[in-house]
Structure 1
Amino acid sequence: MDELFTYYLQELDHYQPNALIYHLDHDTWSISQMYDHLIVVSHEYLDEVESCRFAPVTTSGKSPFGERLFATGAFPSTPIRLPDAMNAPPYETTHVDRLRTRWLQLIDRHTALASIAESAPADQKTQHGGMGWLNATEWYALVTYHLAHHRHQKRRLDAALANRQ
């Protein structure tokens, strides 16, 4: 299992219900919302891993942003603001067990799709709105890149929680 999945799973043990829904300000997600976002988006990326198995062959490539992202193997460390139409607030809960269950389901699915990501033809791709055309291996890698990117956000939220106590 990827160390980032383990990290986020273990970190859930550190939160009380009120900490899960604490908002630094009205524009900042809570820890619970960040976890929901990670789970939902990871499943969306894994859906694309599966879709690539049946996607038509294409020579279409990545966007300039996609090329930079995959060349560095990471999202930029700065926050990325999506357009408001794509930026609905994630689900929020005070139940750590709910988040843990959903996280474990994500881990299981990620593990189950590893062989598909490795064996899918590189020229069978689906399109990402900002990164261009990605194959199953790239969609699979995107899950980890996304988790790593939000580790910065989690650290900021954890620091805010520590300062309010």
Structure 2
Amino acid sequence: MSNLKLIETYKHDLQNYSLEQLRYITAEGIWSIGQMYDHVILVAMEYLDNVETCAASKEEQKLGKTEFGEHLYKIGDFPPIKIKLPDELNTPPSNSDSKEDLTNRLDLVMQRLRQWESRVDTINLNYKIKHEGFGWLNAREWFDLVGMHFRHHLRQKCELEQKFFNA
């Protein structure tokens, strides 16, 4: 499934939630669906900012990915595991956006993906930005990471849906 179709699926599914379901937190330390949406949107925008930074770069970086980063790109997806970020990077996402706000923000992600889709492969592969977990990534790798991250959170989305649809 293409990144754009994947995000369309997120947008479509968003319409099935009431505002109460969107903001429902099942337990301390567990995100609501709205927080998960906020997270994937913020991260997508950050990754697309890095595509843009790579495109504007004039300095080549010869360093590459970490071992985990190599594995991630070899399989083309995150492994089916829960990833716990360090506390300083794990600020809970916003739980206040409406469905309309989230839909508009998803539209912005899609707009930026479309803007870079035809240009990303023209960017020098050695113009890179460092990802703390995956190492030095070029524009194409940051671009691809958007879809990998959205796919990774589909499992979480299903788990959260089961909790409030079965509550």
Q: Normalised by the size of structure 2, how large is the TM-score?
A: 0.95
Query: Any unmatched runs of 5+ in structure 2?
Result: none
1:70 aligned partner: 73
Q: Tell me by how many angstroms 1:93 deviates.
A: 2.1
2:92 aligned partner: 89
Give runs of ≥4 in structure 1 deviating > 2 Å.
Answer: none
Deviation digits for residues 124-165 of structure 1 (CA, Å, limit 9, x no counterpart): 11111110000000000000000000000000001101111x
| Equivalent runs, 1:106-145 vs 2, <5 Å | 106-145=109-148
2: distance between equivalents of 1:117 and 1:157? Answer: 34
2:48 aligned partner: 46
1: distance between equivalents of 2:80 and 2:69? Answer: 15
Which of the numbers 24, 30, 33 marks the counterpart of 1:31? 33
What is the identity, as a one-letter code, of the residue corresponding to 1:112?
A: Q
| Equivalent runs, 1:15-26 vs 2, <5 Å | 15-26=17-28
How many positions carry a matched residue from both structures?
164
Q: Tell me by how many angstroms 1:79 deviates.
A: 1.0
Deviation digits for residues 79-108 of structure 1 (CA, Å, limit 9, x no counterpart): 100000000000112511111111111111
Check whether the contact 1:63–1:132 (CA below 8 A) recurs between aligned residues.
yes
What is the identity, as a one-letter code, of the residue corresponding to 1:18?
A: E
Identity rate of aligned residues, in percent?
38
Deviation digits for residues 31-66 of structure 1 (CA, Å, limit 9, x no counterpart): 000000001000000000011113311211100110
2:160 aligned partner: 157
Identify the range of structure 1 (155-164 vs 86-95) with the bigger mean alpha-carbon deviation: 86-95
1: distance between equivalents of 2:38 and 2:162? Answer: 20
Q: Normalised by the size of structure 1, how large is the TM-score?
A: 0.96
Partner SS, residue 91 of structure 1: coil
1: distance between equivalents of 2:108 and 2:138? Answer: 23
